[in-house]
Amino acid sequence: MDVAPERLERWLENFAGRHGPYREDGLTLIAADGAEATPQAPPGAGEPATVAELIRAAVSPRRIGLLLARKGAVAAGVADGAELVSSKVDTHYVQGRTAAGGWSQQRFARRRDNQAKAAAAGSAGIAGRILLPEVRTLSALVTGGDRAAVDAILADRALAPLAALRAGRVLDVPEPRHAVLVHAVGLARAVPILIREP
């Protein structure tokens, strides 16, 4: 489950209310009834060793870059804390699969491949314009959508400084639009918590 940084302390209180008092083993909370919860630091929040450090790191403001991509759509933005301060969303036409067989199928596959490459190049240009000027101020780059599409964009050598900041988690988001990008800021800031019931 994902918990907004501002709600984390309240979530911990509720966890204790449901499962009884807990003890901390590093970042793992072990409750009286045997339930366990392991929160992870959100992207760009460093590597806290205790839950108290995690809470402080999670709520502290930080700038993160966002790059969302699916087939022919891309959204890039910079978030300062919970606010999206700059962004760009764009779409490129990439033909879908066809039911035709033989030579036609191969021709359509080549055309689709060329369109996907052009879309990745255009998307890399957008990421470069929005994110590269801010790269020194970013604590992490959070990606989302289709991993292969994001990988194709970040394969551009000019974006190597951004790729170095990439967080491991890929957000599960629909086709990138401005509203999806705004929503992704909250997802990127959230504290992931793995819960094991007794």
Instruction: Please report, for the chain, the start and end positions of each structural domain, with discontinuous segments joined by +.
Output: 2-60+191-196, 63-189
Q: pLDDT higher for 90 or 186? A: 186
Torsion sign, CA atoms 155, 125, 146, 179? positive
86: left (phi over 0), alpha (psi -120 to 50) or beta: beta
CATH number of 63-189: 3.30.420.60
- Write out pLDDT tens, residues 146-183: 999 999 999 999 999 999 999 998 999 999 999 999 99
In the structure, what pLDDT confidence band is assigned to residue 94 with cuts at 50, 70 and 90? Answer: very low
Quick check: 97 and 111 in contact, CB under 8 A?
A: no
Task: Determine what percent of the chain is predicted with pLDDT higher than 70.
Answer: 84
Burial of 90 (0-12, 13-18, 19+ CB in 10 A): middle
d(CA 166, CA 147): 12
- Write out pLDDT tens, residues 63-81: 999 999 987 789 999 999 9
d(CA 151, CA 160): 12
d(CA 37, CA 194): 6
- Listed in sequence order, the DSSP H helices in 83-166 are 102-131, 147-154, 160-163
Quick check: 187 and 1 in contact, CB under 8 A?
A: no
